[in-house]
């Protein structure tokens, strides 16, 4: 059984990897680095963006993966933080 802190560390590491892979994916699709980071942030944060007609089917699938994996990693990490707080491990 993992501790809440261990769960937070795992979640943060996975979240970081998802961000890096996602930025590289958007960059490889022809966007510059700043726009790639922007796309990842608004996608994972759930802010979303206006439906972009220039997205290919492959990029639409990629964006769906970023949303699913990004939100899952964030939920896992936040769950560890909530577990830590409810178990009284936060001083």
What mean pLDDT do residues 56-71 have?
Answer: 90
Higher-confidence residue: 14 or 90?
A: 14
How much is the pLDDT for 4? 83
- For the chain, the straight-line distance linking the first and the last C-alpha, in angstroms and rounded, comes to 22
Instruction: Please write the tens of the pLDDT for every residue from 12-23.
Output: 999 999 999 999
Q: How many domains does the chain have?
A: 1
Residue 49 lies in a domain: yes
Cα angle value 59/63/67 (rounded, 5°): 170
Determine the structural domain holding residue 81 and report its residue range.
Answer: 11-86
User: CA dist 44 to 51, 66, 82, 88, 89, Å?
Assistant: 16, 7, 20, 29, 28
Give the model's confidence band at 54: pLDDT under 50 very low, under 70 low, under 90 confident, else very high.
confident
Give the pTM: 0.79
How much is the pLDDT for 60? 87
In 3D space, the residue among 35, 40, 41 whose CA is nearest the CA of residue 22 turns out to be 40
Residue 91 lies in a domain: no
Please say whether the beta carbons of 66 and 22 come within 8 A: yes
Residue 3 lies in a domain: no
Q: Find the CATH number of the domain harbouring 26.
A: 1.10.287.70
């Amino acid at each position: 059984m993992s501790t809440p802190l261990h769960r937070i560390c795992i979640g943060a590491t996975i979240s970081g990897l998802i961000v890096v892979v996602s930025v590289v994916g958007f960059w490889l699709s022809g966007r510059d680095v700043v726009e790639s980071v922007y796309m990842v942030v608004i996608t994972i944060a759930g802010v979303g963006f206006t439906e972009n007609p220039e997205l290919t089917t492959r990029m639409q699938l990629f964006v769906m993966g970023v949303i699913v994996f990004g939100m899952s990693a964030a939920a896992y990490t936040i769950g560890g933080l909530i577990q830590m707080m409810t178990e009284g491990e936060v001083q």
